[in-house]
């Protein structure tokens, strides 16, 4: 079980933590993936922060939801509503949208994300087909058995599953707790458990997504360092 670090910009601001210090702690915890989530900043601000993250983080970097920033990342994590919005925008199925994103069949045009090739001939194939040799990582949020079963039909890289516990960084109406153990077994893809997950939680999944706990640890380390210097 590996750590998937969630760099939530609002949480970094709350603890007055720099991107550099967050990445340093994530690397110290041997995190394998880092996701940048920022729900309130402008597109240009997000782009500048992604470039800053890349100075300090050399492993896979995922953007949360914002397809316009894919050129600066290794992949994207999409929510259920965001996936539906993409389907509605391009009049394509969820399979076709995810296939196009994973395989780089898109371009940026005047700052807008455009699908450039529709491989609908693969829409009825087993979803495992498009996992091979893909250019980008694509994760999808899931919250229950029905969403996991639907995700099993898509050409994803992994699924996010949660919330495991209540969390202050995101609205969490659906708390899974011990139910998550059985749901993990249903997925055909690696599972990243999210929502109130602690650094030392033992969960039988591929990844555990840690955000606030990394910030608290970073804050504690910085405070100790500051106290030591004052002495």
CATH (domain of 218)? 3.20.20.70
Q: What is the pLDDT of residue 178?
A: 87
> pLDDT tens-digit profile of 46-55?
999 999 999 9
Q: What is the pLDDT of residue 111?
A: 86
Range of the domain at 48: 2-230
Identify the residue with better confidence: 14 or 226: 14
Q: Residue 146 region, left (φ>0) first, then alpha (ψ -120 to 50), else beta?
A: alpha
**Reported confidence tier of residue 120, pLDDT bands at 50, 70, 90:** low
Span 199-207, mean pLDDT?
Answer: 94
Span 203-220, mean pLDDT?
Answer: 96
Q: What is the pLDDT of residue 132?
A: 43
Q: What is the pLDDT of residue 63?
A: 98
Is residue 124 pLDDT above 50, yes or no?
no
Q: What is the pLDDT of residue 125?
A: 46
**Reported confidence tier of residue 225, pLDDT bands at 50, 70, 90:** confident
Identify the residue with better confidence: 69 or 117: 69
Number of domains forming the structure of the chain: 1
What contacts 24+ positions apart, CB below 8 Å, involve 92-99? 92/118, 92/120, 93/120, 93/123, 94/150, 94/154, 95/122, 95/123, 95/127, 95/153, 95/154, 95/155, 96/120, 96/123, 98/130, 98/138, 98/140, 98/154, 98/155, 98/156, 99/130, 99/155
Secondary structure of 97-153 as H, E, C letters: HHHHHHCCCEEEECCEEEECCCCHHHCCCCHHHHHCCCCCEEEEEECCHHHHHHHCC
> pLDDT tens-digit profile of 51-87?
999 999 999 999 999 999 999 999 999 999 999 999 9
């Amino acid at each position: 079980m590996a750590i998937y670090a969630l760099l939530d910009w609002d949480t970094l601001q709350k603890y007055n933590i720099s991107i550099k210090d967050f990445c340093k702690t994530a690397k110290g915890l041997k995190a394998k993936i880092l996701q940048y989530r920022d729900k309130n900043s402008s597109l240009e601000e997000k782009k500048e922060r992604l470039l800053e993250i890349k100075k300090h983080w050399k492993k896979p970097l995922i953007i949360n939801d914002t397809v316009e920033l894919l050129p600066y990342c290794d992949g994207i994590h999409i929510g259920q509503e965001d996936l539906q919005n993409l389907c509605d925008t391009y009049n394509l199925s969820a399979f076709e949208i995810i296939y196009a994103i994973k395989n780089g069949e898109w371009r940026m045009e005047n700052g807008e994300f455009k699908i450039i090739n529709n491989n609908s001939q693969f829409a009825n194939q087993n979803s495992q087909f498009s996992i091979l040799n893909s250019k980008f990582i694509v994760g999808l949020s899931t919250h229950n058995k029905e969403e996991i079963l639907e995700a099993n039909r898509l050409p994803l890289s992994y699924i996010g599953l949660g919330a495991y516990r209540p969390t202050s960084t995101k609205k969490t109406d659906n708390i899974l707790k011990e139910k998550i153990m059985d749901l993990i077994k249903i997925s055909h893809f690696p599972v990243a458990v999210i929502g109130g997950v602690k650094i030392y939680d033992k969960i039988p999944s591929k990844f555990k997504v840690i955000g606030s706990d990394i910030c608290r640890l970073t804050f504690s380390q910085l405070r100790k360092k500051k106290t030591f210097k004052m002495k």
